[in-house]
Chain A
């Protein structure tokens, strides 16, 4: 069966510090991968998605970046965090190629920037 793992679950970072969130998917090949952010009490904001290794599409211009070094690994990074980067970060995958219909979400990473 397919599983998705995301870490760390919680982190508190000072403004200006770097960030690295990692997500891996098991049990499937060539998934579509997504990074979402959810601010407190708000909806899902798509940040990045990837349909293959090294292929990253950015939806929102900001100080975040994403990389997909392996088929089932998706990394969200920042060189210098802003207060506004605080939120709940969710990695998700769907069946590829094309779009399989359902998104499967990881457990989420709660980031607080102080």
Chain B
């Protein structure tokens, strides 16, 4: 059974700092990875996905993937209080399954 592990946090960073959110996964065959952001009381929304080893940048967000170490991370540069949310790592299904695997999420708090 696939597993996706995240530190539940909370991760607290000052405004303007870099927030680093980490995720490890058990299925070495996983090919792609998704990061969702969920504000308190709201539904998750996709913010980043990554397929290839290395870095993928989108504005202040950078996703990093290391398949050899089965490790994916999300970096948020110049963190803002509006980035305070729970960040969910997810792995799409494979082998004919329709069920993605979500981590439990890391709570991020950016304080002024």
Contact between A99 and B93, CB atoms less than 8 A apart = yes
Using a CB–CB cutoff of 8 Å, the interface residues on chain A facing chain B are: 32, 42-44, 46, 49, 51, 57, 59, 88, 90, 94, 99, 101-108, 110
Contact between A105 and B45, CB atoms less than 8 A apart = yes
Contact between A51 and B43, CB atoms less than 8 A apart = no
Of A44, A49, A105, A106, the most chain B CB neighbours within 10 A belong to A44
Q: Beyond A99-B93, A104-B46, A107-B42, list 11 extra A-B contacts (CB 8 Å).
A: A32-B98, A44-B44, A44-B88, A49-B98, A99-B97, A101-B34, A101-B49, A103-B90, A107-B43, A108-B42, A110-B41
Name the B residues within 8 Å of A43 (CB-CB).
88, 102-105
Question: A44: which of B34, B41, B102 is its contact (CB, 8 Å)?
Answer: B102
Name the A residues within 8 Å of B44 (CB-CB).
44, 90, 103, 105
| With contact pairs A32-B98, A42-B104, A51-B98 given, residues A102 and B46 touching in the complex (Cβ less than 8 Å) | yes
Q: Which residues of B64-112 have CB atoms within 8 Å of chain A's CB atoms?
A: 88, 90, 92-93, 97-100, 102-105
Indicate if B32 sits at the interface (CB-CB under 8 A): yes
Query: Interface residue count for B (Cβ, 8 Å)?
Result: 21
Contact between A108 and B43, CB atoms less than 8 A apart = yes
> Cα distance A42–B90 when bound, in Å?
15
User: B90 — nearest CB in chain A belongs to which residue?
Assistant: A103
Name the B residues within 8 Å of A44 (CB-CB).
44, 88, 102
Name the B residues within 8 Å of A105 (CB-CB).
43-45
Of A94, A103, A104, the most chain B CB neighbours within 10 A belong to A103
* 5 A-B pairs whose Cβ atoms sit less than 8 Å apart in the complex: A46-B99, A99-B97, A101-B34, A103-B46, A107-B42
| With contact pairs A107-B43, A108-B42 given, residues A102 and B34 touching in the complex (Cβ less than 8 Å) | yes
